[in-house]
């Protein structure tokens, strides 16, 4: 903040007083305090999960060392998010070809990283905003964001490439400060709402007078604090931005706001002319395109679960709908329930994926997701043998306390006395441990890893390649306290068998 102030100040008057946008440095520092306070409030109290998850997703996008599988793992940490991503991945908007998608891993493969990233951020924005308290203004800003982002994506010359998805996400987030403020504003929101209703003046000036900052500045500050795409802050600069993509976002947002006054006024015609010059299309064609994109924005908003916001997007000739801003159907349960139909879909999806010569990691992650979501397990782990074959260590984990559990899930090979997991790695059969006092387990060591898993009942089976175990799948229901039965064990073994068959097929495809 201090460096920005220094770069922006100018010398003013004979008294030698420095100023910035017409205010003294002291006045600017005073004005920055309420803005900083709001950034802390939203980051630490109101939206910490949103900030953390969006930050993780953007970190993956910015780092070439991260794979698309890393995005899948972030999504799979949240059963509700997982269910909604899969639902949207099967919607006509994202999947017009109708390719059946049952797993997050498959969604990333079919739709691409950027599309799934856009889906995730859309879901998080909507879930956060529909739970806010100032519904009217929040939904209005959300409608503008979805509509403006949809218009911006369509105006961009290559609407199918990765940059267009980044434009959509930035367009969706460029009203983040407004939406977040109205969600959690309390008394300040009441005061600002009254001031805005009482005065027809510039909204930014009124915001600055009541709050001490403009809500656009809150968006910029949040974008920096939460490490959002730099395109979000650039888009707020409008024509002053040096990033050529920003002009599409800026125009899309202006279109979304202006059509609230009707589709036939001189202002919207001027924007259509601007869009015509930007895209090289005839004005008449552009006008038709903008109206079609408004209809598409409505469908996108509905698909994302923002039905009330969809009703607020102006569409030519459409009657207002009476809809709730909720997802169709209840949220996913905290614990994944066994779902034989989902198991069948995922097994079929794995077979289809194997036909396209997939990467080994994609196969193993799909199997892991099938066990976790389809079989209905609380904690699910894929552990692999290290290169020196002296240690088996978790590579992927899903479920409760995933990171800590993954870090601690490991055991040594070739040591005496042998533990149950070491014995398991000597063959290729699965094991279901429900009673640690079972006579068949006599003489086996139960320290170390067994304390990590809380001495829970579990199922486990080796991953075998060329007759040699290279790792294992592990799953339990300890956090929820639910029992493991014969059907659970049989379903678990079926998925691991599919993994082992898939390994053989992948190896053969690489030789041929």
Same domain, 441 and 344: yes
Same domain, 297 and 370: no
Using the CB atoms, write b or e for 78-110: b if 16+ within 10 Å. bbebbbbbbbbbbeeebbeeeeebbbbbbbbbb
Q: 490, 457 in Cβ contact below 8 A?
A: no
**Burial level of 6, CB count in 10 A (0-12/13-18/19+)?**
exposed
Whether residue 321 lies inside any domain: the answer is: no
SS3 letters for 289-307? HHHHHHHHHHHHHHHCCCH
Concatenating the DSSP letter of every residue in 91-131 gives STTT-TT-----SHHHHHHHH-HHHHHHHHHHHHHHHHHHT
Same domain, 303 and 389: no
Nearest to 260 by CA among 309, 328, 325: 309
* Distances from the Cα of 72 to the Cα of 171, 358, 488, angstroms: 23, 16, 24
Is omega for the bond preceding 417 within 30 degrees of 0, making it cis?
Answer: yes
CA gap 257, 435 in Å, rounded: 64
- According to DSSP, residue 409 is labeled -
CA gap 415, 313 in Å, rounded: 66
End-to-end CA distance of the chain: 59
Same domain, 219 and 351: no
Same domain, 347 and 268: no
Same domain, 305 and 347: no
Q: 79, 333 in Cβ contact below 8 A?
A: yes
**pLDDT for residue 505:** 86
**pLDDT for residue 467:** 83
Whether residue 272 lies inside any domain: the answer is: yes
Nearest to 113 by CA among 154, 70, 150: 70
Whether residue 208 lies inside any domain: the answer is: yes
**pLDDT for residue 362:** 86
Whether residue 83 lies inside any domain: the answer is: no
The angle at the Cα of 290, spanning 285 to 295, to the nearest 5 degrees, equals 125
* Distances from the Cα of 477 to the Cα of 2, 367, 413, 491, angstroms: 52, 18, 26, 15
Indicate the pTM of the whole model.
0.73
Nearest to 405 by CA among 393, 413, 417: 393
**pLDDT for residue 321:** 47
Whether residue 64 lies inside any domain: the answer is: no
β-partners of residue 410 are 393
Same domain, 374 and 417: yes
Same domain, 154 and 246: yes
Q: 151, 252 in Cβ contact below 8 A?
A: yes
Same domain, 186 and 296: yes
Number of folded domains that form the chain: 2
Same domain, 230 and 364: no
Nearest to 248 by CA among 288, 275, 286, 219: 275
Whether residue 230 lies inside any domain: the answer is: yes
Instruction: Report the C-alpha dihedral over residues 98, 102, 104, 105, rounded to 10 degrees.
Output: -90
Domain interval for residue 405: 340-511
Residues 6+ apart with CB under 8 A from 175: 141, 142, 144, 145, 148, 219, 253
361: CATH: 3.30.450.40
**pLDDT for residue 416:** 81
**pLDDT for residue 132:** 57
Q: SS3 of 277, please?
A: helix
**Burial level of 416, CB count in 10 A (0-12/13-18/19+)?**
exposed
Nearest to 120 by CA among 155, 63, 172, 158: 172
What would the two tokens of residue 394 be?
A: 């978790």
Radius of gyration of the chain (CA): 27
What would the two tokens of residue 158 be?
A: 């290559």
Enumerate long-range contacts of 85-90, CB under 8 Å, 24 or more apart. 85/116, 85/119, 85/120, 85/123, 88/119, 88/122, 88/123, 88/303, 88/304, 89/116, 89/119
Whether residue 3 lies inside any domain: the answer is: no
Using the CB atoms, write b or e for 436-445: b if 16+ within 10 Å. eeeeeeeebb
239: CATH: 1.10.3210.10
Same domain, 495 and 440: yes
pLDDT by residue for the chain (512 residues), tens only, comes to 333 333 333 333 333 333 434 444 444 444 458 999 999 999 988 898 888 888 788 777 666 555 667 888 888 888 888 888 999 899 887 888 888 899 998 898 888 888 888 899 888 888 888 765 557 889 999 999 999 999 999 999 875 566 788 899 999 999 999 999 998 888 898 999 999 999 877 889 999 999 999 999 999 999 999 888 888 888 888 767 788 889 999 999 999 999 999 998 899 999 999 999 999 999 999 999 999 999 999 998 988 888 889 999 999 876 444 434 343 344 455 788 999 999 999 999 999 888 887 788 889 999 999 999 999 999 999 999 999 999 999 999 998 888 889 999 999 998 887 788 988 999 889 999 998 888 888 777 667 888 899 889 999 999 998 888 999 999 999 999 999 999 999 999 999 999 999 998 887 776 66
Whether residue 507 lies inside any domain: the answer is: yes
Same domain, 374 and 502: yes
């Amino acid at each position: 903040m201090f460096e920005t102030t220094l770069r922006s100040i100018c010398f003013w008057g004979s008294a030698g007083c420095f100023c910035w946008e017409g205010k003294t440095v002291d006045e600017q520092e005073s004005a920055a305090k309420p803005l900083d306070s709001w950034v802390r409030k939203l980051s630490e109290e109101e939206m910490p999960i949103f900030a953390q998850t969006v930050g993780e997703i953007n970190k993956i996008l910015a780092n070439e060392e991260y794979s698309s599988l890393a995005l899948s793992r972030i999504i799979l940490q949240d059963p509700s998010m997982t269910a909604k991503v899969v639902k949207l991945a099967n919607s006509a908007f994202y999947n017009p070809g109708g390719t059946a998608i049952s797993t997050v891993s498959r969604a990333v493969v079919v739709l691409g990283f950027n599309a799934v990233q856009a889906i995730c951020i859309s879901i998080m924005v909507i879930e956060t905003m529909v739970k806010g308290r100032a519904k009217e203004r929040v939904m209005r800003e959300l409608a503008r964001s979805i509509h403006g982002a949809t218009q911006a994506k369509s105006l961009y010359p290559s609407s199918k490439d990765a940059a267009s998805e980044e434009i959509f996400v930035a367009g969706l987030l460029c009203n983040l400060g407004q939406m977040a403020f109205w969600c959690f504003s309390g008394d300040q929101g009441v005061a600002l709402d009254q001031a805005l209703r009482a005065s027809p003046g510039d909204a930014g000036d009124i915001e600055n007078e009541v709050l001490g900052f403009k809500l656009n500045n809150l968006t910029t500050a949040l974008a920096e604090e939460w490490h959002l795409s730099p395109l979000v802050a650039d888009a707020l600069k409008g024509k002053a931005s040096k990033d050529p993509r920003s002009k599409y976002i800026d125009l899309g947002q202006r279109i979304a706001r202006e059509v609230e006054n009707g589709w036939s006024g001189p202002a919207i015609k001027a924007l259509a002319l601007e869009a015509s010059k930007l895209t090289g299309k005839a004005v008449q064609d552009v006008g038709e395109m903008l109206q079609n994109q408004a209809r598409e924005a409505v469908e996108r908003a509905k698909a994302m679960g923002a039905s009330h916001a969809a009703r607020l997007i102006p569409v030519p000739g459409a009657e207002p709908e009476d809809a709730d801003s909720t997802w169709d159907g209840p949220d996913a349960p905290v614990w994944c329930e066994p779902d034989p139909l989902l198991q069948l879909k995922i097994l079929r999806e794995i077979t289809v994926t194997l036909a396209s010569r997939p990467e080994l990691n994609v196969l193993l992650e799909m199997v892991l997701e099938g066990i976790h979501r389809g079989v209905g397990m609380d904690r699910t782990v894929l552990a692999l043998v290290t290169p020196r074959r002296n240690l088996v260590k978790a590579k992927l984990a899903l479920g409760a306390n995933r990171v800590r559990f993954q870090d601690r899930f490991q055991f040594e090979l070739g040591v005496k006395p042998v533990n149950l997991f070491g014995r398991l790695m000597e063959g290729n059969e699965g094991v279901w441990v429900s009673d640690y006092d079972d006579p068949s387990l006599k003489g086996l060591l139960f320290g170390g890893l067994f304390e990590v898993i809380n001495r829970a009942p579990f199922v486990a089976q080796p991953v075998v390649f060329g007759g040699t175990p290279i790792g294992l799948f592990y799953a339990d229901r300890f956090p929820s306290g639910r029992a493991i039965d014969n059907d659970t064990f049989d379903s678990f073994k079926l998925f691991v068998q599919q993994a082992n068959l898939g390994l053989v097929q992948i190896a053969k495809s690489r030789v041929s």
